[in-house]
A = this chain, B = another copy of it.
Amino acid sequence: MDKMQNLSKNQQIIFDLIDKSSEPMKAYSILHNVQKKGIKAPLQVYRALDKLVEIGKIHKIESRNAFIACHNSSCQVSKATAFSICEICKKVTEISSASLSKYLTNFKDKDGMKYSKYNLEFFGLCKKCR
């Protein structure tokens, strides 16, 4: 539930790698980078990724099949995520906007349904690429 829990060996290795990376990392690129540390099979990577996503240490960028570390302390453990994605340089940034998360968390559809979770991906050109 919180992000303080201890990670297992593989989880820690993979989290450290993603956390250091300046860009979202793909599963097989992660695999490549941790083979020298003894993680040899895709499944070992995917299992760690699943857990890290579940506890909110990382997020999956669905449109890119890639993973980034969460740097947003207020993000509700992977339950409410928003990202900006540059269509040229592919830079991905987690958006941390109280008003946006408030708006979406409270959003009700036509039937009055409220949602327990959302993922939002914005696309455009980043500062550098404009």
- Known pairs A62-B63, A107-B100; A117 contacts B123 (CB<8 A): yes
Residues of B within 8 A of A126 (CB): 113
- A125–chain B nearest beta-carbon distance, Å: 8
Residues 76-130 of A contacting B (Cβ, < 8 Å)? 84, 87, 95, 97, 100, 103-104, 107, 109-111, 113-127
- A28–chain B nearest beta-carbon distance, Å: 17
Residues on A close to B: CB < 8 A? Answer: 62-63, 84, 87, 95, 97, 100, 103-104, 107, 109-111, 113-127
Can you show 7 pairs from A to B with CB atoms below 8 A apart? A62-B62, A62-B121, A63-B119, A84-B113, A115-B124, A118-B120, A120-B120
